[in-house]
Amino acid sequence: MVVREERSTEPVVEFPLVDIRGSDDGPTVAITAGMHAGEYAGVLATLKLISALESVRIRGRVLIVPIVSVRAFYARNMQLSPIDQKEVHYVWPGRPAGSHSDRLIELLFRTVRLADAVVDLHGGEFVQDLTPFVGVPWERDDDLFAQSLELARSFDVPFVDQRAVAETPIALPRALYREGIPNIWSEIGHNGLPGAVEVNLQLDGCQNVLRHLGVIEGRSVRHRPRIVGPKHWSVVTDRTGIWLPNIHAGQRVRKGQVLGRMTDVFGSPIETVTSPADALVEFLCTSPAVDGERRPHGNTWHQWLVQLVDDRGVALARKRS
């Protein structure tokens, strides 16, 4: 089916929804992808998941949205809404009379808020190199965080990012958290590439979540990622020019280490970019094109060069369920 909200004067807000109801009672799990248009591994994983669930017994209900930002997806847009230039991950639900992205997130929130758990699949956009991780919203060490962390352990990734959502603009995970809904978002895949390894990592993670919650049968494999965060550093520039990084995602850097350089269009150096801390490179901008003055809705999306996270070196204990 297609979930749709129409107004006479504005582009329609809609996304595809697969609603699978099992023969037995059980939890409702929502799995969404394609909030950001170029993050294809998650989108392709949902298509495989829909196919895989056709032939297995389901307890409860599975809601799957393969592409949240449909207009952005087919326009091959990147990160921001092509209609109102908003960063959809930063948009709070609760404004049904707002702009296109406000209405989109409101419609999505209304669709998934009845779930007992929500998994939102992301990855590195066209211009992002990224080391695989799963983001877990955190405000305090409570039962909700523990349940979300357990969902994250379904994914075979090296890192789980304990994200202090109260200190970030990230909206939907925090809104779900406030509703008491365990939720995570995967970050698997980079530079918009639909690689088979990344697609299968996303797929296996989703299936493990469903096994963990008893929606499908089988043993849920529990992985043992390192917890990173909650401290993060976003390295940004206010210069317009050519960005030449000399690091890669997943690399550990030291405070003061050169992360890359900005040059003008003739190759003359205009800025040396250094690390503010000893940290792990979570993801970085691989596009040489940086517009220091482009700040849609005040966000530093276009000035952003590197995302660093504190690696406390804490490994989760191995446990089987």
**Rg of the Cα trace of the chain?**
19
Helix H or strand E encompassing 52: helix 40-53
Stretch 189-208: interaction string toward Zn ion, x if CB under 5 A: --------------------
Selected range binding Zn ion among 35-43, 104-112, 211-219, 246-254, rule: CB under 5 A: 35-43
Q: How far is the CB of 122 from Zn ion (least distance, A)?
A: 3
CA distance linking residue 150 with residue 55, whole number of Å: 26
Stretch 251-270: interaction string toward Zn ion, x if CB under 5 A: --------------------
Closer to Zn ion at the Cβ: 39 or 129? 39
Q: Which one of residues 36, 71, 103, 163 is an interface residue with Zn ion (CB under 5 A)?
A: 36
Closer to Zn ion at the Cβ: 93 or 189? 189
Residues 6+ apart with CB under 8 A from 7: none
Selected range binding Zn ion among 4-12, 116-124, 168-176, 227-235, rule: CB under 5 A: 116-124
CA distance linking residue 137 with residue 208, whole number of Å: 20
Closer to Zn ion at the Cβ: 30 or 53? 30
Q: How far is the CB of 39 from Zn ion (least distance, A)?
A: 5
Stretch 46-75: interaction string toward Zn ion, x if CB under 5 A: ------------------------------
CA distance linking residue 106 with residue 103, whole number of Å: 5
Selected range binding Zn ion among 12-20, 38-46, 196-204, 206-214, rule: CB under 5 A: 38-46
Measured at the alpha carbon of residue 292, what is the angle toward residues 71 and 33, in degrees to the nearest 5? 25
CA distance linking residue 48 with residue 317, whole number of Å: 30
Selected range binding Zn ion among 34-42, 139-147, 203-211, 299-307, rule: CB under 5 A: 34-42
Q: How far is the CB of 57 from Zn ion (least distance, A)?
A: 32
Selected range binding Zn ion among 29-37, 138-146, 233-241, 302-310, rule: CB under 5 A: 29-37
User: Cα separations (Å) of 157 from 153, 164, 174, 181, 301?
Assistant: 8, 20, 22, 22, 25
Selected range binding Zn ion among 39-47, 110-118, 213-221, 277-285, rule: CB under 5 A: 39-47
Is 223 one of the binding residues for Zn ion (CB under 5 A)? no
Closer to Zn ion at the Cβ: 36 or 71? 36
CA distance linking residue 66 with residue 17, whole number of Å: 7
Helix (H, G, I), strand (E, B) or coil at 33: strand
Closer to Zn ion at the Cβ: 37 or 144? 37
Q: What is the CB neighbour count within 10 angstroms for residue 311?
A: 17
Q: Which one of residues 61, 100, 122, 302 is an interface residue with Zn ion (CB under 5 A)?
A: 122
Is 163 one of the binding residues for Zn ion (CB under 5 A)? no
Q: Please, is 217 exposed, middle or buried when counting C-beta atoms within 10 Å of its C-beta (0-12, 13-18, 19+)?
A: exposed
User: Cα separations (Å) of 106 from 56, 63, 180?
Assistant: 32, 16, 17
Which residues contact Zn ion (rule: CB under 5 A)? 36, 39, 122
